[in-house]
Structure 1
């Protein structure tokens, strides 16, 4: 927004300068070349400013898109893993269901030890990804994601004891 405002201010200033120069050198003859040179210089400055603005916006969109593509890639590679698929069932999946599929690499106590979080290291086609599965006090899944339990606790994903809800 600030870049657009600055660009507009530059444009207004350039336009005003062009009008002053045009009045001064509007007489035909020897000043016509000076007027044309000023017009060309102002237009070139505006083009450079616009190119910088477009480049900045394009770079921001590209970087945002890369992060989104990484998330989609993770889902495509690991969502069909049995542990991830079972955790995705939410409150219908229990701790015993998850343990029946695979033992966790690490168990972390959460909410003052009243519940647990399981860490898994998934592997598919040579790629590895962390997965955490958090449980309620009753042993049903209430959170899961492609980070570690430690990161999930720091982000506050495991603060609630409420069962997971499917949100559409």
Structure 2
């Protein structure tokens, strides 16, 4: 039985780490960068799919859809009112809000 569990690990990890293929995308690199700002991210990553207000951080959140090798992945970057990056990740702004990412 324990060998069956070991056989599942590669399958589960492949799904869990599929986002890593997007790590070199320009908008992701811009979000990861030290001192990332809204202006720098948009200049690098282009116009987002949408922008939503995030009252919890008194700022905004940009939604992007990353595309590579026929796959898509949501990616969000949230900024405070000064345009400084506060949060980012491989989900949408709406999902981040539901998960409580923006709660102070």
TM-score under structure 2 length normalisation: 0.83
Unpaired segments ≥5 residues, structure 1? 1-53, 161-168
Q: 67, 83, 86: which is aligned to 2:30? A: 86
Q: Which runs of 4+ in 1 moved over 4 A?
A: none
> Does residue 66 of the first structure (1) align with residue 8 of the second (2)?
no
Q: Tell me what 1:125 maps to.
A: 69
CA contact (8 A) 1:111 1:159 kept: no
**Does the CA contact (< 8 Å) of 2:56 and 2:103 recur in 1?**
no
Q: CA RMSD in A?
A: 2.2
Identify which of structures 1 and 2 has the higher relative contact order when contacts are C-alpha pairs closer than 8 Å and 6+ apart: 2
Q: Secondary structure at the match of 1:142?
A: strand
Count of matched residue pairs: 103
Structure having the higher Rg = 1
Aligned ranges 1:1-168 → 2 under 5 Å: 54=1, 58-59=4-5, 62=8, 65-75=10-20, 77-90=21-34, 92-101=35-44, 102-111=46-55, 114-160=58-104
* Structure with the higher strand share, 1 or 2: 2
- Give unpaired runs (5+ residues) of structure 2: none
Counterpart CA distance in 1 for 2:56 and 2:19 is 31
For residues 34-62 of structure 1, what are the alpha-carbon distances to aligned partners after superposition, in whole Å with 9 as ceiling and x for unaligned?
xxxxxxxxxxxxxxxxxxxx26x834872
Counting helix residues as a fraction of each chain, which structure ranks higher? 1
